[in-house]
Structure 1
Amino acid sequence: MSLSVRPRRLFALRFRLARQLTLGALAGLGAFAALTAAFAALTLHALGSSWAAINAGDPVVSGLWSLLAVLAGLATCALGGVLLSAPPRPEGIRLPRRAAEDLFALLDDTAARLGIDPVRHVFVTDHMNAHVAQRPRWGCVGPLQTCLMIGLPLVHSLSPAQFGAVLAHELAHLAAQRQGWGGVGAHLRAWWVRTIDRAVDRFPWFDAPLERMTQRYCITMLRLARIEEFEADALAASLVGHGLMGDALVEVGLKARFLERDFWPHVDAHGSRRRRPRLRPYRDLALGVQAGFTRTVSEHAVALEEAGGERFALHPSLHQRLSALGVRCRVPEGEVVSAAERYLAPLLPSLAWVFDRAWWRMARENRRQRRNRARYEMVRED
């Protein structure tokens, strides 16, 4: 995507793409609903015809109609299961307001500055990211409820100011793209994509034609997602400053690379060598980030150069986002206090304990699978 396009034209393009994709989603969902209704009507008609044939004393015809009713009923259930795919529930640990009043005060202040309703549902996850999700109250339909998911590794990796910039970026998605009918349109687009995925899983023989039919739609969805990231960056930067927004993006990218390539491989290797791992990675995450991550520019020059982004990534590359903000790519200076210590200090032991237990269970399951594979290989060789 060319960044020579002026921001206003780019964001106007975002509105047109969102409208186009929403209409396409409505058409696709309507077609699935009509097909489901047609099979349901065929089921009822076949049942009625089967009963009429019984009354007419024609058991053979009645049996054929009954068979058709069963097949049509199965098709109705299959299509209904594909269509009625509710979005996933928020994952993570629900964060009560009274347990993190400073964090909610920051969210309330950011929401007020953006002119949106405050976010009342916040969850802490074990991922290195943060994102906002909107889900209908009753599964596929109902008023949209907004949830914010915050990764514990992310909070340990950022300074309070950088974390505030990331939260401003996430809430900017709501302010610019998910207000009113914008949120409904995003829900419909996500519903249609889930329907496509479930249809491919449920009907593998329909994979190739469905992919040809929806390939352009999915590519346009990726294009829309990247424009939305640029727009959220620009809106967040207007609140916190372009320099701080750029520093937050670089810090997230470098810390995510460090955790993925250095921290977690060592943690997983430790867990695979011991029957009962003594390590508690989420309890020691803050120390691991502070002790293992270096801020020498030469150490990260390669990482910054590699941040080119994947072809089908939902987010633009780091260099594209910094270029759009008009800031240079640099390694930010470190802070003594992390966002986790500033906003989640009383909760950190409890949060770490929950995620560490989940990691222990996963490590135990991985060891069990490796033992089973080893036994299988021994038996196969014999």
Structure 2
Amino acid sequence: MTESEFRNLVAHLERECDIAPGRYRAKVTALAGLGYAYAVGMLALTLGGVFAGIGLVASRHALIGGKLVLICGVAAFLVIRALWVRLDPPSGRRVSREEAPHLWRLVDKLRAKQAGPEIHEIIIDEAFNASIVQTPRLGIFGWYRNTLTLGLPLLQALSPKECAAVMAHEYGHISGAHGKTGAWIYRIRLVWMRLAEVFAQEEGWFDKLFTRFFRWYIPWFNAYSFVLARQQEYEADQASARFVGRTTTASALIAASVKGRFMAEKFWPALYAQADHQPRPGFMPHAAMRTALRVAGDSEDFKTWMWDALARLTTYDDTHPSLRDRLDALGMKPVVPTHPEHSAAQVLLRDALPRITSDLDAAWLTAVEAQWRERHNKVRAAQAEVERLGDANPARLEVEEKSRYALALLTLDRVNEALPLLCEAAEHARGNAETAMAAGRILAERGDDAAVRYFEMAMDRDGDMIPEATWRAMQLYEHIGNEALTEEWRARYERIIAD
């Protein structure tokens, strides 16, 4: 199913759900059962063949029975292996009850209030997010291990009550907020989507034959369950509001949106920009995060970003409704977020916070150290290249030198100087794909459809660039609102990905 087909189908299904919600929910439940019916049916068929073969052997038809046992036994093993696939659990810094009793006490209170399943472990990671991941220990047949994952940046950004609101929302998905059937559909939807990646990688002929059904089934189930999943976001918000109140739930939604943007657009870029000048980071992110958030709370950016978020519409790219739609459903007006006197990290983690901060910073440094050093060396090399060629008139440089000079300027973020040179070098008969792609990226970021000509140059010169160039052309036309060309390039991109 292509992306455009998925969007059109979901739009149609939304109308169907509005007309007859009960019948639609029953249809999705039946579709959810279809996946299990196929899996159990294939398993029963292959095991039945094994027992039939054993029966033939027992009745002195050893040759035929032996072959049947062998063939069906191998098939049954492959079916079980496919269905019993183990999914990787979430990664991060685990916190025990002894280490963070106040956080665990909040989880216990949530469970007592919402009557949901047990949370088996809590993980703190570096994402600005919160989630509860249910990892099936028996593949599609369940026996779930529930992991609550909380990002330390989120804990540093929210107040304790706002954090409780976010946790209540996440817990609402696996408790009774959607009803038993709704919670089951929510859970298996996520499991099927995670298994889709595994099934797509099967290589044996039987594996491909068996999982062919799921490669057809999962996109359809995803589309049908998408409508319910969006409704479940509203239901989870209501579960949060019952736990902490509508005002706090609304405050948490706004704070997460606005402060998440600060982290993505201000904090992390400023930190990584140090690599241009320093061989090692000047400060550790998690240790500096609370101070950065407090300073940012005094700026006008939060107000601007809140209204930007409120202007966004609900789309089919995500099951989460827009911020405005969620606030409207709660019956709440937007209020610009402030920085809490005491963050959720301070109140819920207490004495464990310094250790957790230090562990996450150490893990972050290990993960980025090589990339940081590579960026630092690349910038130094670019500076040397600009100094070496800068005294010459760029117009008199050979095309290869002009390309290197322009790319070096681009590495140093001197985009306005680099762009005309990149275009000249790309349009030369001996121009290369790298300069054409670089020129196309800059123009596309500026919303200039002249970028497509450079993407086409890059594709002609280097086949490896075809997927990226096609995707960027599609994104450009979507951004400037040319629907016909968006769909044309989307179709091209989907054909490339499918091959």
TM-score by structure 1 length?
A: 0.75
Q: Mark the runs of 5 or more structure 1 residues left unpaired by the alignment.
A: 47-54, 57-64
> Would the aligned equivalents of 1:28 and 1:192 in 2 still touch at CA under 8 Å?
no
Aligned mate of 2:271, from 267, 278, 281: 267
| CA–CA separation in structure 2 for the residues paired with 1:29 and 1:193 | 14
Offset of residue 45 of structure 1: 10
Q: Mark the runs of 5 or more structure 2 residues left unpaired by the alignment.
A: 1-9, 54-61, 382-402, 405-432, 435-499
In structure 1, the residue matched to 2:192 is 192
| Equivalent position SS for 2:153 | helix
CA offset digits 1:299-358 (Å, max 9, x no partner): 335533444344221211111100111111221343211111111131122112222122
In structure 1, the residue matched to 2:252 is 248
Q: 1:271 to 1:189 in 2, by over 3 A?
A: same
Which AA in structure 2 matches 1:242?
Answer: R
In structure 2, the residue matched to 1:154 is 154
CA offset digits 1:233-283 (Å, max 9, x no partner): 112212322122111100000011111111111222224654333421111
Which of 1 and 2 has higher RCO (CA within 8 Å, sep 6+)? 1
Offset of residue 95 of structure 1: 1.5
Q: 1:72 to 1:254 in 2, by over 3 A?
A: same
Alignment of 1:167-178 (within 5 A): 167-177=167-177
| Equivalent position SS for 2:85 | coil
| CA–CA separation in structure 1 for the residues paired with 2:73 and 2:277 | 52
Instruction: Tell whether 2:29 aligns with 1:25.
Output: no
> Would the aligned equivalents of 2:83 and 2:139 in 1 still touch at CA under 8 Å?
no
| CA–CA separation in structure 2 for the residues paired with 1:360 and 1:208 | 42
| Equivalent position SS for 1:166 | helix
> Would the aligned equivalents of 2:85 and 2:138 in 1 still touch at CA under 8 Å?
no
| Equivalent position SS for 1:131 | strand
| Equivalent position SS for 2:369 | helix
Offset of residue 131 of structure 1: 1.5
In structure 1, the residue matched to 2:345 is 340
Higher mean C-alpha deviation, range 68-77 or range 166-175: 68-77
Instruction: Tell whether 2:327 aligns with 1:325.
Output: no
Instruction: Tell whether 2:224 aligns with 1:217.
Output: no
Aligned mate of 2:242, from 238, 242, 255: 238
CA offset digits 1:279-303 (Å, max 9, x no partner): 2111111112112344536533553
Q: 1:275 to 1:294 in 2, by over 3 A?
A: same
Higher mean C-alpha deviation, range 217-226 or range 248-257: 217-226
In structure 1, the residue matched to 2:481 is none
Q: 1:193 to 1:115 in 2, by over 3 A?
A: closer
Which AA in structure 1 matches 2:325?
Answer: Q
Offset of residue 16 of structure 1: 6.3
Higher mean C-alpha deviation, range 347-356 or range 251-260: 347-356
Q: 1:219 to 1:190 in 2, by over 3 A?
A: same
Q: 1:200 to 1:119 in 2, by over 3 A?
A: closer
Which AA in structure 2 matches 1:277?
Answer: P
- Give the number of the structure whose alpha-carbon radius of gyration is greater: 2
Q: 1:294 to 1:246 in 2, by over 3 A?
A: same
> Would the aligned equivalents of 1:137 and 1:144 in 2 still touch at CA under 8 Å?
yes
Q: 1:188 to 1:209 in 2, by over 3 A?
A: closer
| Equivalent position SS for 2:124 | strand
Instruction: Tell whether 2:309 aligns with 1:304.
Output: yes
> Would the aligned equivalents of 1:134 and 1:144 in 2 still touch at CA under 8 Å?
yes
Alignment of 1:27-106 (within 5 A): 27-32=34-39, 34-35=41-42, 80-106=80-106
Which AA in structure 2 matches 1:150?
Answer: L
Paired-residue identity, %: 25
CA offset digits 1:134-159 (Å, max 9, x no partner): 33455655643433211111100001
| Equivalent position SS for 2:318 | coil
Which AA in structure 1 matches 2:105?
Answer: A
> Would the aligned equivalents of 1:242 and 1:325 in 2 still touch at CA under 8 Å?
yes
| Equivalent position SS for 1:171 | helix
| CA–CA separation in structure 1 for the residues paired with 2:102 and 2:255 | 22
| CA–CA separation in structure 1 for the residues paired with 2:179 and 2:137 | 16
Q: 1:193 to 1:44 in 2, by over 3 A?
A: farther
Which AA in structure 2 matches 1:327?
Answer: M
Which AA in structure 2 matches 1:289?
Answer: L
Instruction: Tell whether 2:368 aligns with 1:355.
Output: no
> Would the aligned equivalents of 1:21 and 1:189 in 2 still touch at CA under 8 Å?
no
Offset of residue 21 of structure 1: 3.5
| CA–CA separation in structure 1 for the residues paired with 2:72 and 2:248 | 59
| CA–CA separation in structure 1 for the residues paired with 2:315 and 2:26 | 26
> Would the aligned equivalents of 1:36 and 1:76 in 2 still touch at CA under 8 Å?
yes
TM-score by structure 2 length?
A: 0.59
Q: 1:190 to 1:269 in 2, by over 3 A?
A: same
In structure 2, the residue matched to 1:60 is none
CA offset digits 1:180-239 (Å, max 9, x no partner): 666555444434333433222336999999766544321222222211110011122123
> Would the aligned equivalents of 1:271 and 1:363 in 2 still touch at CA under 8 Å?
no
